[in-house]
Amino acid sequence: MTSAFSPAVTATAPAKINLILRVGAPDESGYHPLVTVFQAVDLWDEVAIVSADADSLVIEGAGNLSGVPTDRTNIVWKAVDALAHVRGLREPLAITITKTIPVAGGMAGGSADAAATLVALNELWQVGLTSPQILDMAATLGADVPFSLLGGTALGEGRGDLLTPLIRQQPLHLVVVTAPLELSTPRVYKTLDDLRAEGQGTLTPLSSSELDVVIGDDVGELIGVLSNDLQPAALKMAPIVQKNLDVLSEAGALAHLVSGSGPTVFGLCVDATHVADVANFLLQRGFSATPTTSTPLGARLTSSLSSAREAH
């Protein structure tokens, strides 16, 4: 039970897609080195945290949320423990996650929740960590959590946690199409390994010309560099993904790609009018389609401790 005078602090973090995702062969520990271009998109999960008498976690939002754990296996508790370790004190918390990002859809929803938790709890507990310090902590939680904090556009290397920010000159217009199933990211990587012949998986760095295309304003050129090494594995595991890619093409999207490990896919469009036309085409045919744009933002506070107190 929370006190009537306990202020809640809220933070949000965006979904991500991978404009480019190159996957190397697994190393001795089983992890796959990556070369990727992350792009944050304007779909957000919100995390609200308040001091309480006992820990609790509530998941809200539209769609099927059954795949989101509410016990200690949820990554937000890992974020709580990491910050409590630095603070030197652990107090019970009531956490509410309001989800917009598709669950297990290859758009880093869990990582976004962890990033928002770090930002909100750093404020609630007044730990005083700087942005670089929070970024370092995020890397201990999961490979995509640092990007969820950073947002915008970034080159990711290593396990995806070694980030180089990139500045896109123009927003991207996208349609996201979800599937009524979940794909386990580890299983997708394992399927990729099974599909590859012996010796495959050499990792090629992005060239300077490819990076120029990524940050440029020519959508036509961007089509030529979009790629995802995990796409064949996602298609093998979930044939419905191919159906969603095909309907994006039928709807007139300039290009389409599986997002991360899938099963969510996205279509690239010219502008807001084109996005609306593509999304309407899909919605009229019963597909789950969401128009969106890229965003330069990452995880951020939406309600600070002072504003929460003023609200009381």
Structure tokens at 214: 């990524």
Neighbours of 239 (CB within 10 A): 9
Residue whose tokens read 């010309």: 209
Give the pLDDT confidence of 71-80 residue by residue, as tens digits. 999 999 999 9
The predicted model gives 57-65 an average pLDDT of 87
Residues constituting the chain: 312
Total domain count for the chain?
A: 2
Checking 207-213 for CB contacts under 8 A at 24+ apart, the result is: 210/20, 211/155, 211/166
Assess whether 16 carries a catalytic annotation: yes
Residue whose tokens read 């927003």: 171
pLDDT, position 253: 98
**Domain membership flag for residue 24:** yes
Based on the domain organization, do 17 and 139 belong to the same domain?
A: yes
pLDDT of residue 24 exceeding 90, the answer is yes
Instruction: State which of 167, 193, 228 marks the end of a domain.
Output: 167
Instruction: State which of 118, 141, 167 marks the end of a domain.
Output: 167
| Structure confidence at residue 30 as a pLDDT band (50, 70, 90) | confident
Residue 206's domain comprises: 173-293
Question: What is the C-alpha to C-alpha distance for residues 252 and 247, in angstroms, rounded to an integer?
Answer: 9
Question: What is the C-alpha to C-alpha distance for residues 255 and 257, in angstroms, rounded to an integer?
Answer: 7
Give the pLDDT confidence of 139-173 residue by residue, as tens digits. 999 999 999 999 999 999 999 999 999 998 899 99
Based on the domain organization, do 15 and 123 belong to the same domain?
A: yes
pLDDT of residue 124 exceeding 90, the answer is yes
Top pLDDT among 90 and 67 is at 90
Based on the domain organization, do 219 and 70 belong to the same domain?
A: no
Q: 190: domain CATH number?
A: 3.30.70.890
Structure tokens at 172: 């991207």
Residue whose tokens read 């969603």: 244
Give percent of the chain with pLDDT exceeding 90. 82
Q: What are phi and psi of 131, to 5 degrees?
A: -55, -45
Based on the domain organization, do 130 and 227 belong to the same domain?
A: no
Give the pLDDT confidence of 248-277 residue by residue, as tens digits. 999 999 999 999 999 999 999 999 999 999
Q: 97: domain CATH number?
A: 3.30.230.10
pLDDT of residue 221 exceeding 90, the answer is yes
CB-facing half-sphere around the CA of 202: CA atoms within 13 A: 2
- In the set 16, 45, 113, 161, the catalytic residue is 16
- Give the chain's mean pLDDT: 92
- In the set 45, 144, 161, 229, the catalytic residue is 144
Based on the domain organization, do 162 and 177 belong to the same domain?
A: no
| Structure confidence at residue 118 as a pLDDT band (50, 70, 90) | very high
**Domain membership flag for residue 298:** no
**Domain membership flag for residue 306:** no
Question: What is the C-alpha to C-alpha distance for residues 233 and 227, in angstroms, rounded to an integer?
Answer: 13
pLDDT of residue 1 exceeding 50, the answer is no
Nearest-CA neighbor of 109 among 94, 123, 122, 99?
99
pLDDT, position 81: 97
Q: How far is CA 84 from CA 53, 89, 91, 92, 262, in A?
A: 16, 6, 8, 11, 33
pLDDT, position 34: 96
Based on the domain organization, do 204 and 67 belong to the same domain?
A: no
pLDDT, position 311: 55
**Domain membership flag for residue 42:** yes
Based on the domain organization, do 106 and 193 belong to the same domain?
A: no
Question: What is the C-alpha to C-alpha distance for residues 108 and 195, in angstroms, rounded to an integer?
Answer: 24
Based on the domain organization, do 178 and 276 belong to the same domain?
A: yes
Assess whether 144 carries a catalytic annotation: yes
Instruction: State which of 149, 167, 185 marks the end of a domain.
Output: 167
Based on the domain organization, do 148 and 24 belong to the same domain?
A: yes
**Domain membership flag for residue 311:** no
